Each structure stands twice: as C-alpha cells, then as structure tokens.
Structure 1
Amino acid sequence: MKKLVVLTGAGISAESGIKTFRDSDGLWEGHDVQEVATPEGFRKNPALVLEFYNQRRRQLHDVEPNAGHFILAELENHFDVHIVTQNVDNLHERAGSTKVLHLHGELLKVRSTRDEHHILDWTTDLVLGDTDKNGHQLRPHIVWFGEAVPALEEAIDLAEQADFFAVVGTSLQVYPAAGLLHYAQPNVPVFYIDPKPAIIYDLRNPLEVISEPASTGMVVLKERLLAKS
C-alpha cells in the first residue's frame, strides 16, 4: 500500500468553525500572540494563558469534523495515510484517521511545567492550582513560539518515505512545518489545496495546486490519487 503523507493546517479546521490562527489584524481571538502563545507570556500572566486555551478547548466540544476530515479518513482504505497536522484540535481523530502526528501539541492534553514528558489527557478547564503529582503547575500541551517542536524529526522521516505528499489548508508561513514538503523525494507528486495558495519556491517535485477550500479540494485530491494508484 502506497504511503500518503498529508500536512494539514488551520484551513481544514476553519471549515468546522475553528478560527484560523491569526486574524488579518495579527491578533488571535483579540489577543497579541506574544501574550498567549509564548513561554514569556505564560510566565507574565499564566491565568490569562490558561483561560485563553480553556476557551479554545470549550469551542472544540461544539464543532464537528467536516468533509475534508472525513475524506482523509476514507483514504485509509486505499493508502497508508499519515497526517502531520499543525492543528491542535482532534477533528482528524474524530473523523476516523488513525495515524495523526500533532506538530504543535494538542488542546485535549496538558503537561507538567517541570517535566515535559509528564502528559495528561484533559477535557475540562485548566486553572492555576491544577498540578502534577509532585505539585508542579500544569500547562497546555501546546508548542509555543520559541519552543522546540519535538515531533519534527518524526515528521521529516514520514515526508522522506512518502509516495504522495499533500498540503491541505495551510499558508505555508509557519516554520519548520512549512518546510516539510521539501523533504519529499524528487519524484514524489505534491498536491497543494488552499483557496489562497502560497507560492512555493525551490520545489523539486511535480506540483498540482488545487485552489479550493479543504472540503471541496479533498474531493479533487481523492480523484487524482485514486487515478494514480
């Protein structure tokens, strides 16, 4: 079974009602990103940061996967599908995808501020005073700006093994995730689905751009992949 590696971004979740990472004014839900998505912001005002992610977590309970998510899950019937996502929601899993690698963490998990490997499932609000077993405050299991991306090496390995590589719903502006498609082998077809696709420079691969939202673009991608398999 051929390996399909898919990099997904905010665009696929936006169609389910989850706002994209930053609005055109550079704010995220009315907040400066430096306030709510950096270690410095957390040290300065941990209560604000915790409540910000509490709101994101609550929102996640009110949305559902969309057609784009479901088609990716269906493709597991034809390909060895590995999703590498920049999104912190669980919509891929809820749609039925079984191999999902979260580059930037997960909303429904938290971790110790002292031991980054002490990770817990978490579905409710996280507040000051919620601690690990040793009394250390818990924080969102999110990769903030300025922090290392632990899953990056695994993502690169997947990209290097791909028979097909697809990019869905991302502006390709956030690194290092945006550079993953350049690790695909030179003969591997690359498909890029986004209503406002970025220009991709220095790509060695055959590229097809599908200038559509994820839900309709995935219909086209499925047709293309099945024709090539």
Structure 2
Amino acid sequence: MNHYKIFLIFSFTIINVAIGSVPELSPNTFLFCLKPELQPLTISLNRGKPSVGMAALDDYFQTHDIVRIEPWIKHATEIDRDGDIYLNRIYRVYIDENSLGRTDQSISSIQDFPFILYAEPEYIRKPYYKPNDPSYSSQCSLEAVKTDIAWDYWDIENGEIPGDKNILLASVDTGVDYTHPDLIENIWVNQGEILEWVFEIEGIDPNGDGLLSAGEISNFILTDL
C-alpha cells in the first residue's frame, strides 16, 4: 500500500511540474508569417474589418471574426531575417471577443493558404526576478558584471519593468548597432571617447554644440556615403 502512496505522490508532483511549465498563451491574438516571396502587407479598414488587398486573406478576416491585424514588429525591415523568416512579414491578428474559443481553428485555417509560412499562438512572455534558465549558474559573465544587482532597481515580481529614462544601460559587448531604430534616439554616446580631431570634420556637428549624438553620427555617415 505504501508503494502505491509513494507512486501517487510522485505522479502528482510530476503533473504539477508539467502544468506549471505550460507557457501562457494570449486568448485573443495569434501570429502568422508570410512566405518570403510575398511583399509585406498594406493594411487598411474596409467596413470596420481589416483588409490587405489579397482576396483570400480579406475573405478569411471576414469569416473568422478578425477585428484587427498589425505588424508584429513595426520597424522591422528586409534585413531583419533568419533564413526564410522575415520579421517584417510576421503579423499579429486580433480575434473578436465573441470568438475566443475558436483561436485554434483560426490558426489551422490560415495555415492552409499556400502563401503562409507558418501560424502559431502568441505566447505571453513575462520577466522573472529569479532566472529560470537551467544554465544560469554556468554563466560567469553575469555575476562578473553584477547583473543581478541591477535587477533590484525594479519591482519585477509585482509587475514593474525597466523603462525609466533616468537609468542608463551599458552595453559590454564588442560592438553596438547604434543606428538601430530602437537605439538611435535613446543611446548615450560617451563624449570622452571621441577623439578631438573628429570634431574638425566638416558637417560632423551640425548644431555646433561640441557634442555628437548617435543621430548626428548616423546622418554624417549616410550623407558621406
């Protein structure tokens, strides 16, 4: 009898662990990706419903209670890709609240189109104060730069996430794409690292304030090219 008790307790523990590890899914959205040979969609509204100028997709939106569609990453370009997956061809689809129970069916239906690379549920990603990476202990670099100390600046467990412009984030990598759309207006340039002779280049400092921003550097490079 004790053996059965141990087995039941062990089984119940495994079930709890398995349930706890199931990722959370968005109830009213999913993602789909176009095949690379198609151009990114031009999204508009037609009688309150999304329209993209493709008869097959427009009919799909009408029959599956789709209320909205938007790029998954708004500023993605042609160079943002991994093989056949182009980030500027991935879209987020919003389903009407009255049809939330048909999300799986909507995903299955859109995958039948020959121009769809894939479709999938949208996973809800949440930051955790304590890393859930099983290999965290082997990453000595995080402890070396005292990353864990920085986490205390936010009450992550209660929903507060990084976003204060008064806090500077430093990149310790060997290179930074400071002209990236997400960085160019936000990145801080260490003026002390800029050689004095750089300011003598004509047009490098258009406002003459003696400082160089990422935007000024980028504009000069693009103009010079």
Q: Between Structure 1 and Structure 2, whose CA radius of gyration is higher?
A: 2
Q: TM-score, normalised by structure 2?
A: 0.24
- Which of the pair has the greater relative contact order for Cα pairs under 8 Å at 6+ separation? 1
